[in-house]
A and B are shown apart, each in its own frame.
Chain A
């Protein structure tokens, strides 16, 4: 269980995290979504006691991270896959981590095996590791202390499709064992497949904290309307717009309508005598829900792509 209460971080005049109050519960995968610069990484760093909150608290099992003597047994985290000394081998990196928390050397080889790094890859110096290998090494480090709470910052960055699927299964399995799994991502489609619960933030503020299904359902439903009569379709579009719906032409014989229901569109078409060949609700995607939630809080022009800067 991770408990955030009024968690706030300011860097000068910039508010990176703004009064975030969330509980991240055990036994499920909680996805942490937000556009670039939304404050995801900063939040994770504050949970780990790396950044000091300007206000509020971040507790793990009711305790502040800085109080923990053997924290790897309680919280495992992957923050930055590139953070390894250029001439230190991946195995020595893990070995130092293990020793700092009284974890036996045998466990280092176990987690290396778990993440699929063989002796040769683990013996290579840090600067020669690919991003994907760095991610696997970072995940191995998070698993080292067999902790009940796990955090991953963009864990699938740099992984091939096989690796992405593997991470998905790993996260699900960790949550299945009753652990708290908190994973940030900018890949909405990935979260749709992996997460049970979603915490969405924009400009440091909490935008949503709900089960994935609810977040998707809460988004505006889009309806596709197709007709063989362009004139009739134009009339229908005008009437729909007059009723407050948002209408976008999707082709010469097709409209995408949001802000109303399938029933209402059907009724209007009947009243106007417009023949329809299709009237279908689009399954809303998490991607779309996310875009709507964060539309007002995108930090950088160009939209939410790519990982956080830090």
Chain B
């Protein structure tokens, strides 16, 4: 335990570091933090189970709801991808918990001070977290899509179809949606600091409010609901052409995620850690 051996003989000036190198270092640190806590693995497992269960259940509904006796009649045939997209509505809450917890546990455990001590630039910290959470949930989304398709296809039986290109496209769309939603959750978590509060706000934004708006089926309210991230993401994943092209849905969702990050950065900059 000699103190002489562990510290240099004289303090030296720190080397100059580029912003890019500082950002790469912040990403490496966030990755290390994400994979070193149990909750990350639990949320992944929860996501897998939820996806398998929802995809299976929705596939059963799709097959049972089909009253046409002749599968050759095509109109009753359901693509595996559309089952996946519906299954995401529930599964997303496990996935966005990953993005959410990456920031809210820092506040509950007090490690946010260590994090900001290591990387004082608030924007850099949050962007590094978003990159790591986004990348991890994208890969997880691909895995979930694959699992969902594997479960749904045999259950659908004659009433299902799984065109290779279409299904892969749907899986990538699902993964993209999940990545953006987890970034949205992360940005909101940085602004609100509490996991419970963030999940409530997310639940309202992704589900409750747009559903309530759509309920009376009034055009104006429907258009407002279309601007919400969950609905926009749904249009994107389904490849809708109405009320706007799928790509616009993606942009709207990405806009929400970006806005949440900006909100989180402002909160981190202004408020005491």
Task: List A residues at the B interface (Cβ < 8 Å).
Answer: 26, 45, 48-52, 65-74, 77, 79-80, 82-89, 92-93, 95-97, 99-102, 110-111, 113-116, 126, 141, 143, 145-149, 166, 169-170, 173-174, 177-179
Residues of chain B with a CB closer than 8 A to A115's CB = 1
Judge whether B216 is part of the interface by a CB distance below 8 angstroms.
no
A selection of 19 A-B contacts at a CB cut-off of 8 Å is A45-B113, A50-B117, A68-B14, A71-B118, A71-B120, A80-B110, A83-B109, A85-B105, A86-B109, A89-B36, A95-B32, A99-B25, A99-B29, A100-B29, A100-B119, A148-B11, A149-B11, A177-B10, A179-B7
Nearest A residue to B18 via CB reads A69
Report yes or no: A50 in contact with B116, Cβ–Cβ below 8 A. Answer: yes
Query: Range of interface residues on chain B?
Result: 35 or more
Residues of chain B with a CB closer than 8 A to A179's CB = 7, 11
Q: Considering the chains assembled together, what is the distance between the CA atoms of A186 and B172 in angstroms?
A: 58
Q: Considering the chains assembled together, what is the distance between the CA atoms of A113 and B2 in angstroms?
A: 10
Report yes or no: A88 in contact with B117, Cβ–Cβ below 8 A. Answer: no
Judge whether B39 is part of the interface by a CB distance below 8 angstroms.
yes
Residues of chain A with a CB closer than 8 A to B15's CB = 70, 73
Residues of chain A with a CB closer than 8 A to B4's CB = 173
Report yes or no: B8 in contact with A146, Cβ–Cβ below 8 A. Answer: yes
Report yes or no: B109 in contact with A126, Cβ–Cβ below 8 A. Answer: yes
Q: Which of chain B's residues 102-116 have a Cβ closer than 8 Å to chain A?
A: 105, 109-111, 113-116
Within 8 Å by CB of B118, from A26, A72, A87, A170, lies: A72
Q: Considering the chains assembled together, what is the distance between the CA atoms of A115 and B113 in angstroms?
A: 21
Having A83-B113, A146-B7, one finds 20 other A-B pairs with CB under 8 Å, namely: A49-B116, A52-B272, A65-B120, A66-B120, A70-B14, A71-B118, A82-B110, A85-B36, A85-B37, A85-B109, A88-B36, A92-B36, A96-B30, A113-B6, A143-B7, A145-B14, A147-B11, A169-B3, A177-B9, A179-B11
Residues of chain A with a CB closer than 8 A to B32's CB = 92, 95-96, 99
Report yes or no: A177 in contact with B11, Cβ–Cβ below 8 A. Answer: yes
B3 to chain A, nearest CB (A): 4
Q: Considering the chains assembled together, what is the distance between the CA atoms of A171 and B109 in angstroms?
A: 27
Residues of chain A with a CB closer than 8 A to B39's CB = 87
Residues of chain B with a CB closer than 8 A to A71's CB = 117-118, 120
Most B C-beta atoms less than 10 A away, residue of A48, A85, A114, A149? A85
Judge whether B26 is part of the interface by a CB distance below 8 angstroms.
yes
Report yes or no: B118 in contact with A101, Cβ–Cβ below 8 A. Answer: yes
Residues of chain B with a CB closer than 8 A to A48's CB = 113, 116-117
Q: Considering the chains assembled together, what is the distance between the CA atoms of A26 and B10 in angstroms?
A: 11
B101 to chain A, nearest CB (A): 10
Report yes or no: B1 in contact with A114, Cβ–Cβ below 8 A. Answer: yes
Residues of chain B with a CB closer than 8 A to A51's CB = 272-273
Q: Which of chain B's residues 163-217 have a Cβ closer than 8 Å to chain A?
A: none
Q: Considering the chains assembled together, what is the distance between the CA atoms of A66 and B111 in angstroms?
A: 17
Within 8 Å by CB of B272, from A45, A116, A148, lies: A45
Report yes or no: B120 in contact with A68, Cβ–Cβ below 8 A. Answer: yes
Report yes or no: A50 in contact with B272, Cβ–Cβ below 8 A. Answer: yes
Within 8 Å by CB of B6, from A73, A89, A97, A143, lies: A143
Judge whether B19 is part of the interface by a CB distance below 8 angstroms.
yes
B218 to chain A, nearest CB (A): 46
